[in-house]
Amino acid sequence: MSADVRFMKGNEAIAEAAIRAGLQGYFGYPITPQSEIVEYLAIEEPKHDYVLLQAESEVASANMVYGGAAAGARVMTSTSSPGFSLMQEGVSYIACAQLPCLFVNVARGGPGLGTIQASQGDYFQAVKGGGHGDYRLIVLAPNSVQEMVDYCILGFELADQYRTPALVLTDGSIGQMMEKVVLPPPIAYKPNKPWATTGKPQDRERNAITSLYIESEEMEAVNNELQAKYKAISENEVRYEGYNLDDAEVVLVAYGVTSRVCRKVVDLGRDNGMKVGLLRPQTLWPYPTAAISELADESRVKLFMSVEMSAGQMVEDVRLAVEGRKPVHFYGRTGGIIPTPEEIINAIKAQL
Amino acid sequence: MSADVRFMKGNEAIAEAAIRAGLQGYFGYPITPQSEIVEYLAIEEPKHDYVLLQAESEVASANMVYGGAAAGARVMTSTSSPGFSLMQEGVSYIACAQLPCLFVNVARGGPGLGTIQASQGDYFQAVKGGGHGDYRLIVLAPNSVQEMVDYCILGFELADQYRTPALVLTDGSIGQMMEKVVLPPPIAYKPNKPWATTGKPQDRERNAITSLYIESEEMEAVNNELQAKYKAISENEVRYEGYNLDDAEVVLVAYGVTSRVCRKVVDLGRDNGMKVGLLRPQTLWPYPTAAISELADESRVKLFMSVEMSAGQMVEDVRLAVEGRKPVHFYGRTGGIIPTPEEIINAIKAQL
Amino acid sequence: MARKGYVEIDTEGCKGCNLCVLHCPTDVLELKTSDTNSYGLHYAVMVNEEACNGCMNCSLVCPDAAITVYRQAS
Amino acid sequence: MARKGYVEIDTEGCKGCNLCVLHCPTDVLELKTSDTNSYGLHYAVMVNEEACNGCMNCSLVCPDAAITVYRQAS
Amino acid sequence: MLQEMVFAGFGGQGVLSMGKLLAYAAMKEGREISWMPSYGPEMRGGTANCVVNISDERIASPVGSMFDVAVVLNLPSLHKFESVVKPGGVLIWESSTIKEPPTRTDINVHALPAIEKASNELKNVKVMNMLVLGALVGIMDIVKKESLIVALEDTLPKRHHKLIPLNEKAIELGMSLVSSGA
Amino acid sequence: MLQEMVFAGFGGQGVLSMGKLLAYAAMKEGREISWMPSYGPEMRGGTANCVVNISDERIASPVGSMFDVAVVLNLPSLHKFESVVKPGGVLIWESSTIKEPPTRTDINVHALPAIEKASNELKNVKVMNMLVLGALVGIMDIVKKESLIVALEDTLPKRHHKLIPLNEKAIELGMSLVSSGA
Amino acid sequence: MTAREGYKVVAKRPSTLLDKRMHYCPGCFHSTVHKLMMELVEEMEIQDKIVGVCPVGCSVFAYEYMNIDMQEAAHGRAAAVATGVKRMLPDKLVFSYQGDGDLAAIGTAETIHACNRGENFTFIFINNGIYGMTGGQMAPTTLEGQRTSTSPYGRDVAKVGYPLRMAEMVANFEGVAYSQRVTCTNPAETRRCKRAIKKAFEMQMKGLGTTFIEVASNCPSGWKCTPEESVTWIEDKMLPYFPLGVFKDVTKKEKKAEA
Amino acid sequence: MTAREGYKVVAKRPSTLLDKRMHYCPGCFHSTVHKLMMELVEEMEIQDKIVGVCPVGCSVFAYEYMNIDMQEAAHGRAAAVATGVKRMLPDKLVFSYQGDGDLAAIGTAETIHACNRGENFTFIFINNGIYGMTGGQMAPTTLEGQRTSTSPYGRDVAKVGYPLRMAEMVANFEGVAYSQRVTCTNPAETRRCKRAIKKAFEMQMKGLGTTFIEVASNCPSGWKCTPEESVTWIEDKMLPYFPLGVFKDVTKKEKKAEA
Ligand SMILES: Cc1ncc(C[n+]2csc(CCOP(=O)(O)OP(=O)(O)O)c2C)c(N)n1
Ligand SMILES: Cc1ncc(C[n+]2csc(CCOP(=O)(O)OP(=O)(O)O)c2C)c(N)n1
Ligand code: SF4
Ligand code: SF4
Ligand code: SF4
Ligand code: SF4
Ligand code: SF4
Ligand code: SF4
Ligand SMILES: [Mg+2]
Ligand SMILES: [Mg+2]
């Protein structure tokens, strides 16, 4: 089969990728700017085997995902910022019950009802845990329609591998934009989930999916198990991309759509004689702390700048990595405004 | 009137404090270990003027609080961890709409349904924002039944002063324990809220409470306004307490019930010739970053240790303050286990 | 004897939904398809003024409150 | 002729709720108030064994499935 | 001086209120106190306990892992708490229902047939917990008996004040049982 | 080389599909492309726009603040986008309905009576957007006409393929209008 | 505008509707209902007494048009927000204005419990059988077989259930004092709609309990039709399933009881 | 245990109930219903076909007792979780087991929509008129005047509304195939309860739609009474408001239609 090249919206692409990843169940509630995901799945439904259900709310969606995942199926939901806030209890349950599944947050500008334009203001919620308790999501941050495809599939795979929920954290700009994508052939998905609740046969103990551990000692043991898993993920699954870092004096750190703008900044900066480089985290959790830390050790590096579409969230993780060895600056826009290369260049100049 | 000294549960004390602060509306849903708050208010209701409503859920509670606060009343809700996760959308709305009100999270061990024993695993959710978008809560962390009273009243006052939601983040141990409290006399609460929606008289423009700013420029302006407010709060409202810090070589950082344990650790350590001191944040946001940073500059200080009932959350804020100048260690227990002074002493010894 | 009336339509406020045209009992109104307002929309106009009896059907159904109805003082 | 039966009660499993006592048609059962099991609870015992007809009312209503009923093979 | 005490028994045996009363009495005597219950989903014939700390100074941790005093009214509680009494500490156990006596020898163990005495001598097994409390203050002199009575007066709703004499009798009986070396 | 273009007009004038078609055609010619719509609550007689980037290299930002080309089909869009055309850039405006012509002189301004021409000469105002697209490629040679036809074939559902000839005619008319200097 | 000689104004834009173009699509009944409500506020002279709660949905901006104190609620939570308002301001006239997605999907629990508690505010429920604001997805009230962007082959009731009849459902609760379904398809129905809202407001002022007005409404954009066609669709398709009428009226019952 | 000579076992603990002491209070019908359900699993031989969802409430630990595959759902979300399960495993027999706080307060939306969609699983709804697990707070089904820890002076229906009758309410939805209220106050009712659950399971296996069994249950601890008194309370107080009976049975209707 020759490469399947298409011109697609980010939202459509992630839906198509999910189908090709062997999606068995999608549960979701409409919200701009991600509704094309469910709409695409609705159109394609008759051609495939997955179940598509428009839930009564995001609270319900997240918990349908819980049920479907615990039944051993490859399931997902998608939403945008306020909807993801509503899912936080469910997310915490799913993380604790160790259920593999995929969340997609096509973020928009908050807080509150805010604006439907793109934003990166949900970074903290995604990486520190918007729900209660000590848990983590594997957070993947695509910066192109192609990566919407790639990370959707990767998200499902990592979720299964570690029995943990994964989140694609993207935003309205990437969800809405159209680009060229190369679609991979469909995966023949054969889940192997002996822990799933599918009806107890004679030859195994009953399976119970729960997040309740009323005794403190038990609960602590579960937390230790989770933390051990998170440690393994942190060691194995950090993904990032460098651009012109080898001789960079100014290191930009940016993810998602701002990382594309920052690529332009790097080029522009270099045209203007500034040695700018870009480190783009592809996984927001686990975070490329070590990579940033190494750069902080390079004497040529003068400063870091975290560029975000927020009031300053990821910059904390950059600071945690740099630990005071170099100045860490922040440049951000909010409300759905994608910063321009020019304003970022100016922000850098102001710090040099 | 002579001092009103009582022997009360933390949960009862915060309820009584709310009454004395001029509570006008309480909306909440039962959950262990905080149900005594609503139960106390239910018993006292006939004697007072406040409205008490058991809502159908935490989602509803948070939004009743939104409505009540926007109508200009002094309102609150209380819950515990999973319930607070459900409130995250509402919290984000309330923060953006700039509504003064009080949340109480009597936290328990997560993630998921977890355990009902005490925990500090909701720190990130409280201080980084569990909901979507860039917002902050004023987060007060009592460590005694007395402070449940004091911070409840303070929370209401700060909320009004800055038109922003405040959160008392406490846990099951403090909610359930009984101690002596001295209750302040009731406040004659006279709200001055010209922005409230109370029916438009002829002589002013209509009031509209909203968090919707569809145009990016508007939304960014609102975010800038919020950030300016948060800056003012950060400058004016940091509260913390030091214990034997003057000559401390080991600085413990702990809040809530663990800070009490750490006080004992300080004494025990000094009995054993270790110069241990304790910095206890009373506000978790704004965080006493400057105070910690100053300590990090002291050459006598050898190390910091954040002691938490979590897998390590506040330690990030300590690291952000210390910025690599001194080692920052973490000691924590999860699942509802309150660490003992002895194990903390051992943890310190292991780092010396 | 039939009442006499006339209407004034705010052409910038009109969105050309045609509901007033549909519900005028005496066919007074029509959309002016040859022109648009600054929103690119056709707007309603009186084409049969004499027939207007000031019944207010048009203003009642006009979603955008774009119609003022006048009636002969009795 | 009345059926014959008897019951066995798991005294550790019994919680002393008294529901079996209440619903036994022939007053076979009673709570033994003079003793408790290791959970500190009184438990049910047969005090009138002859009267038992193996009707299974007691086992049916026993919340904790603590009763085994035996009936004379016919 | 800090005294760390734990009271444990079946739900319904009144262990929580026993601890509360003691803490309240101590507060009335001007001391620092804390009371911390075990809490769980409504329990259902399970065991309940509470930790009471009494001190002359601000109390650090409201819970502890080792106790100066353990009062246990049923076997599971004895199993759970016998081992966490500090050497030299006090263990009071209900000896009319607990069939396996404690085994530690490095602590002061007091057997108290509280249930039997309350039923037989006071004709009211419900005041058993007051009897135990009386025994405790008889042994240890933590608070004055009068403070316990004040505590009862302050904390019992008015309509139950008629029960105070019976409670007082129970406390006294408890005190006498330990002073007489029972 | 990167070309940044914006297409704007009333919802319903087909500005989004115009941009899509162009981007698709460019993709077929092997170039890098991005298309980004304005999006909002369902709009309601408001204006819509899309930004199309075409480049030989990986495209950095999918949105920009200054454009090489602006195609505006109504007055609000002209107001919004005239000022953000790069000096030397191209502005195409619908001149049969927009009554206030653009005023900038440092850019190449093309008046195009697309609505009138589509209604009168093609008897179908709906293909007006194709006419505009034809004019654009006539002026700037961004993609080949043939690529636009391929794009139509690939993206139109089969049941609408009968409309392709009309669309082609519209494109050609647009091209001819600008080559003839209209 | 001054009237021609011998003529006087008999109908005009109410002063309580702000002088701002509403963002609604041409022919959308959201606008109509806004207008009717503001006429009532003017006529009943209750501008200083009324507090409104608008939802997330096309009417999210209602506070931009209605010249009264208003709050914008989170999606589905208008009933909870209105509860908070009314409980704090029991003497004010409070309403929540909600779409079908808002009231009958994500907000189901809040709707049901406010009605069951008999919260003394008025629901204005705009049932257009679709999620207008987000681009025409299926709503809980979408008709059997109706095509939407998430039911592109028509609503399959075997998979997603039948459309919910809210006015009928809430009428079952003791707390509900009044429940009526109206529409705005023609002048007579539009007048009836206005009267229904007025009656609800009046009953609220008397403290009789929850009042619930469901408007069988339209969404020309979501339905992909003209405003005129939308009127026909309501008449032909919606009303047979969502019949107009009063489903509960405690004042009627009282009268009966008296008689 | 071996039977005495000439005797045989006619009733015993079902093998499908794990050999573990249930944490429920003495006399609590949660235990009774658990037992009945596990008897059915044994008798119907469906251990390998059944997947249960337990709630947050006293029955949160049901998976510790029922020897079948189970999931523990978040508070109120058992219906959503069961939907997820059933949609992924349409050939399995799925049930949600929920309390009244869970099903009728926080989970109202999930309950209503699952029923309206006709999700083909069985609700086992334990209505004990109180929040048992959290210590006896008022539930949506608490009776008028009933004292609970959050209605210490008795439920005031003027302020918080009347108790919700869920079995009746869900019967109104097309998607619901069967709805019955039962109890376990005596042997006959207990038998009826078991039969009702069996019927629901059988109808589910036939794919007829949502089946809903409400058990008028007790909470001796929350009600602060003995188990015996709780039985009397159910009979005297609950059943008059929550009548026993079948509120919907599509198999009956079908028969009628055939006849
Ligand atoms: C929590 C949350 N989920 C989803 C949305 C997206 N959303 C906005 S309005 C809406 C539904 C609108 O439909 P309806 O309530 O029927 O109102 P209409 O626009 O049709 O008047 C949705 C799903 C949101 N804003 N917040
Ligand atoms: C989100 C959330 N809110 C509240 C709770 C606390 N909670 C646990 S069970 C319960 C209600 C129990 O009542 P019910 O559903 O009637 O079950 P029962 O215990 O009576 O069987 C509540 C409020 C919780 N665990 N999670
Ligand atoms: S007032 Fe009546 S007759 Fe006159 S234009 Fe309007 S609808 Fe027609
Ligand atoms: S009803 Fe109003 S908006 Fe519609 S066409 Fe007539 S005047 Fe215009
Ligand atoms: S089997 Fe029947 S007769 Fe025998 S003890 Fe049980 S209830 Fe009584
Ligand atoms: S019914 Fe069962 S638990 Fe209750 S007393 Fe009888 S045997 Fe014991
Ligand atoms: S999308 Fe539908 S409901 Fe919304 S304004 Fe347009 S027509 Fe009205
Ligand atoms: S608290 Fe009530 S519902 Fe819960 S187990 Fe005890 S009696 Fe049963
Ligand atoms: Mg709608
Ligand atoms: Mg219950």
Which residue stretches of A247-288 are H helix? Answer: 256-271
CA neighbor of F83 nearest in space, from F61, F62, F99, F107: F107
With cut-offs at 50, 70 and 90, classify the pLDDT of residue G254: low
Q: At what angle do helices B88-97 and B58-70 cross, to 10 degrees?
A: 10
Nearest CA to ligand 8 atom 1: H132
> In DSSP terms, which residues pair with B331 in a beta bridge?
B307
Those residues whose C-beta lies under 8 Å from the C-beta of residue B67, and which sit 6 or more positions away, are: G53, G71, G73, G80, G81, G82, G83, G84, G85, G86, G88
Contact B116, E39 (CB under 8 A): yes
CA C60 to centroid of chain Cα atoms: 10
Which two structure tokens, joined as six digits, stand for E164? 């105070």
User: pLDDT tier at D74 (50, 70, 90 boundaries)?
Assistant: confident
Whether residue G158 lies within 8 A of chain A, CB to CB, comes out as no
pLDDT tier, F41 (very low <50, low <70, confident <90, very high otherwise): low
The yes-or-no verdict on residue G31 having pLDDT over 60 is: yes
Q: What is the pLDDT of residue G123?
A: 99
Q: Which helix (H) or strand (E) holds F168?
A: helix F164-179
Query: What is the per-residue pLDDT across B11-57, written as a single tens digit (0 to 9) for each?
Result: 999 999 999 999 999 999 999 999 999 999 999 999 999 999 999 99
Measure the CA–CA gap between A77 and A100, rounded to whole angstroms. Answer: 12
The type of residue at E9 is G
- Is some CB atom of chain G closer than 8 A to the CB atom of B126? no
Q: Taken in order G225, G228, G232, G238, is the CA torsion positive or negative? A: positive
pLDDT value at residue E39: 82
**E strand segments, chain G:** 7-11, 50-54, 69-72, 93-99, 122-127, 130-131, 137-138, 176-183, 210-216, 245-249
Phi/psi for G161 (5° steps) reads 90, 170
pLDDT of residue F46: 73
pLDDT at E37: 93
Residue matched to tokens 């034997």: B244
Interface test with H, best of A41, A61, A66, A102 (most H CBs within 10 A): A66
**How far apart are alpha carbons E169 and E175 in whole angstroms?**
10
Nearest ligand by distance to the CA of G60: 1
Question: Cis peptide leading into B33, omega within 30 of 0?
Answer: yes
Distance between CA atoms of residues H95 and H103, nearest Å: 13
Question: pLDDT, tens digit, for every residue of B280-316?
Answer: 999 999 999 999 999 999 999 999 999 999 999 999 9
* Contact call for residues D42 and D33 (beta carbons, < 8 A): yes
Domain extent listing, chain F: 3-180
Q: Comparing A248-252, D33-37, E66-70, H37-41, which segment has the lowest mean pLDDT?
A: D33-37
Ranking A10-14, A102-106, E125-129 by mean pLDDT, the lowest is E125-129
pTM summary value: 0.97
What is the edge-to-edge ordering of all strands in the sheet holding D5-9? D5-9, D67-72, H7-11
Q: Is residue H83 less than 8 Å (CB to CB) from chain A?
A: yes
- Both tokens of A19, joined, read 């189908």
Instruction: Tell me which residue has its CA closest to atom 4 in ligand 5.
Output: D52
DSSP A114-173: B-SSB--TTHHIIIIISSSSS---EEE---SHHHHHHHHHHHHHHHHHHTSEEEEEEEHH
pLDDT value at A145 more than 90: yes
SS (H, E, C) chain B: CCCEEEEEEHHHHHHHHHHHCCCCEEEECCCCCCHHHHHHHHHHHHHCCCEEEECCCHHHHHHHHHHHHHCCCCEEEEECHHHHHHCHHHHHHHHHHCCCEEEEEEEECCCCCECCCECCCCHHHHHHHCCCCCCCCEEECCCCHHHHHHHHHHHHHHHHHHCCEEEEEEEHHHHHCEEEEEECCCCCCCCCCCCCCCCCCCCCCCCEECCECCCHHHHHHHHHHHHHHHHHHHHHCCCEEEECCCCCCEEEECCHHHHHHHHHHHHHHHHCCCCEEEEEECEEECCCHHHHHHHHHCCCCCEEEEEECCCCCHHHHHHHHHCCCCCEEEEECCCCCCCCHHHHHHHHHHHC
pLDDT recorded at residue E182: 42
CA separation, residue G30 to residues C17, G70, G217, G218 (Å): 13, 16, 8, 8
- Within 6 A (CB) of ligand 4 lie C 9, 14-20, 43-44, 62, 64, 66-67
> Over the stretch E24-46, which tens digit does the pLDDT of each residue have?
999 999 999 999 998 876 455 57
Q: E3-180: which CATH topology?
A: Pyruvate-ferredoxin Oxidoreductase; domain 3 (3.40.920)
Which residues of chain A are within 8 Å of residue F4 when distances are taken between CB atoms?
Answer: none
Cis peptide upstream of residue A339 (ω within 30 degrees of 0): no
Q: Of all protein residues, whose CA lies closest to atom 8 belonging to ligand 4? A: C14
pLDDT in tens, C11-40: 999 999 999 999 999 999 999 999 989 888
- pLDDT confidence bin for H258, thresholds 50/70/90: very low
pLDDT of B152 higher than 90: yes
Angle separating helix axes B341-351 and B256-271, nearest 10 degrees: 70
pLDDT surpassing 60 at residue E181:
no
d(CA F40, CA A35): 12
Please list every protein residue whose CB sits less than 6 Å from any atom of ligand 6. D 9, 14-20, 43-44, 62-64, 66-67
Q: Work out the minimum CA distance from E49 to partner chain D, whole angstroms.
A: 15
Model pLDDT for residues H113-164, shown as the tens digit of each residue: 999 999 999 999 999 999 999 999 999 999 999 999 999 999 999 999 999 9
Which residue would you say has higher pLDDT here, H217 or G1? Answer: H217
pLDDT of residue H254: 57
Whether the CB-CB separation of A136 and A201 falls below 8 Å is answered with no
- pLDDT at residue E179 in the model: 80
> Among the listed ranges A31-40, B120-129, B179-188, E171-180, which one has the minimum average pLDDT value?
E171-180
**pLDDT tens digits, A263-293:** 999 999 999 999 999 999 999 999 999 999 9
- Output DSSP code: residue A45: G
d(CA F40, CA F48): 9
- Judge: G27–C17 Cβ closer than 8 Å, yes or no: yes
pLDDT at D73: 86
Return d(Cα B324, Cα B326) in angstroms, integer: 5
Give the whole-angstrom CA distance, residue H197 versus residue F102: 76
How many residues are listed for chain D in this entry?
74
pLDDT band at E115 (very low <50, low <70, confident <90, very high): very high
**Which of G8, G9, G10 has the most C C-beta neighbours within 10 Å, making it the best mutation to test the interface with C?**
G10
Contact assignment for H228 to D12 by CB distance below 8 Å: no
| Eight-class DSSP state of A43 | H
Q: Residue A337: helix, strand or coil by DSSP?
A: coil
Q: Is C66 in the pocket of ligand 3 (CB under 6 A)?
A: no
Residue H256 has pLDDT above 80, yes or no: no
Cα B326 to its chain centre, rounded Å, is 28
Ligand 6 pocket: which of D14, D30, D39 to mutate (most atoms within 8 A of CB):
D14
pLDDT at F153: 95
What part of A 170-209 touches H (C-beta under 8 Å)? 197-202, 206-209
* Chain segment G112-167, per-residue pLDDT in tens: 999 999 999 999 999 999 999 999 999 999 999 999 999 999 999 999 999 999 99
Question: With 70 as the cut, is the pLDDT of residue B173 above it?
Answer: yes
Put simply, the answer to whether G71 touches B197 (Cβ < 8 Å) is: yes
pLDDT at residue B2 is higher than 90: no
Among B226, B286, B246, smallest CA distance to B97 is for B226
pLDDT band at C74 (very low <50, low <70, confident <90, very high): confident
- Torsion angles phi and psi, residue A271, rounded to 5: -60, -30
Cα C71 to ligand 3 centroid, rounded to whole Å: 10
Residues facing D57 on adjacent strands: none
Give the number of residues written for chain C: 74
Q: What are chain C's partners, defined as 3 or more CB pairs within 8 angstroms?
A: F, G
- Residues B343 and B269: their CA atoms lie apart, in Å, by 12
Instruction: Kindly state the percentage of chain G with pLDDT values over 70.
Output: 97
pLDDT for residue G1 is more than 80: no
Position E44 scores a pLDDT of: 56
Residue B236 CA to residue B234 CA, distance in Å, equals: 6
Residue H234 above 80 pLDDT?
yes
The topology under which CATH files domain D5-69 is Alpha-Beta Plaits (3.30.70)
- Inform me whether the C-beta atom of residue F97 falls under 8 Å from chain C C-beta atoms: yes
Rounded to whole angstroms, the Cα distance separating C35 from H128 reads 68
Pocket of ligand 7 (CB under 6 A): F 42, 44; G 24-25, 28, 30, 58, 128, 132-133, 219-222
Would A4-236 and A240-351 be classified into the same CATH topology? yes
Tokens of F95: 């001149």
Quote the mean pLDDT of chain H: 96
Does residue F115 carry a pLDDT above 50? yes
Distance (angstroms) between ligand 2 centre and the Cα of B35 equals: 11
Per residue in G75-85, pLDDT (tens digit) is 999 999 999 99
Q: How far apart are CA B144 and CA B9, in angstroms?
A: 10
pLDDT at F70 over 90: yes
**What pLDDT is attached to residue F39?**
82
G169 contacts chain H (CB < 8 A): yes
Phi, psi dihedral angles at H102 (to 5 degrees): -65, -50
Shortest CA distance from E47: residue in chain H? H23
Q: What pLDDT sits at residue G257?
A: 46
Q: Whose CA is nearest to atom 2 of ligand 3?
A: C55
Q: What mean pLDDT is predicted for residues G25-36?
A: 98
The reply to whether H117 touches chain G by the CB within 8 Å rule is yes
What proportion of chain G, given as a percentage, has pLDDT over 90? 96
Task: Tell me if chain A has a CB within 8 Å of the CB of B135.
Answer: yes
Domains within chain G, CATH numbers bracketed: 29-258 (3.40.50.970)
Q: What is the pLDDT of residues H97-120, one digit of tens each?
A: 999 999 999 999 999 999 999 999
Q: Whose CA is nearest to atom 6 of ligand 4?
A: C20
Residue H75's closest CA among H133, H127, H29? H133
Q: The tokens of G82 are what?
A: 């209105």
Q: Which residues of chain A neighbour G150 with C-beta distances below 8 Å?
A: 30, 35, 38-39, 42, 54
Q: Of the candidates H109, H140, H164, which has its C-beta nearest G108's C-beta?
A: H109
Ligand 1 geometric centre to CA of G75 (Å)? 6
Q: Is the pLDDT score of H255 beyond 60?
A: no
How far does Cα B30 stand from its chain's mean position? 19
Percent of chain H past pLDDT 70, that is, above it, reads 97
Contact E85, E69 (CB under 8 A): yes
Name every residue whose Cβ is closer than 8 Å to that of residue B191 and which is 6 or more positions away in sequence: B72, B73, B74, B160
Distance from CA of E79 to the nearest CA of B (A): 20
**What per-residue confidence (pLDDT) applies to B1?**
46
Helix (H) or strand (E) holding F133: helix F128-140
Q: Which of the listed CATH numbers 3.30.70.270, 3.30.1200.10, 3.40.50.10320, 3.40.50.970 matches domain B4-236?
A: 3.40.50.970
DSSP line for A203-257: TSPPPEE--B--SHHHHHHHHHHHHHHHHHHHHH---EEEES-TT-SEEEE--HH
Say how many C-beta atoms besides its own lie within 10 A of residue F102's C-beta: 22
Give the integer Cα–Cα distance in Å for A211 and A134: 13
Pairing of strands C29-32, C43-46: antiparallel
| Residue E128, beta-bridge partner list | none
pLDDT of residue A89: 98
Closest-lying ligand to the alpha carbon of G25? Answer: 7
> Tokens 């115009």, residue?
F18
Per-residue burial over G188-209, b = 16 or more CB atoms within 10 Å of its CB, e = otherwise: ebbbbbbebbbbbbbbbbeebb
Sorting pLDDT into bands at 50, 70 and 90, what band is F182? very low
What number is the average pLDDT over the span E2-6? Answer: 96
Q: What mean pLDDT is reported for chain E?
A: 92
Q: Residues F145, F150, F155, F158: what is their CA dihedral angle, to the nearest 10 degrees?
A: 120
pLDDT for H43-79, tens place per residue?
Answer: 999 999 999 999 999 999 999 999 999 999 999 999 9
Does G49 touch chain F if contact means CB atoms closer than 8 Å?
no
E162-180: average pLDDT: 92
Structure token pair of residue E129: 């917990």
Are G180 and G213 in contact, with CB atoms under 8 Å apart? yes
Query: Which ligand has the nearest atom to the CA of G28?
Result: 7
Nearest CA in chain B to E65: B340
> In the CATH hierarchy, which fold is given to the domain comprising A240-351?
Rossmann fold (3.40.50)
Tell me how far the alpha carbon of residue C57 lies from the centroid of ligand 10, in angstroms: 55
Q: Token pair of B321, please?
A: 């303050």
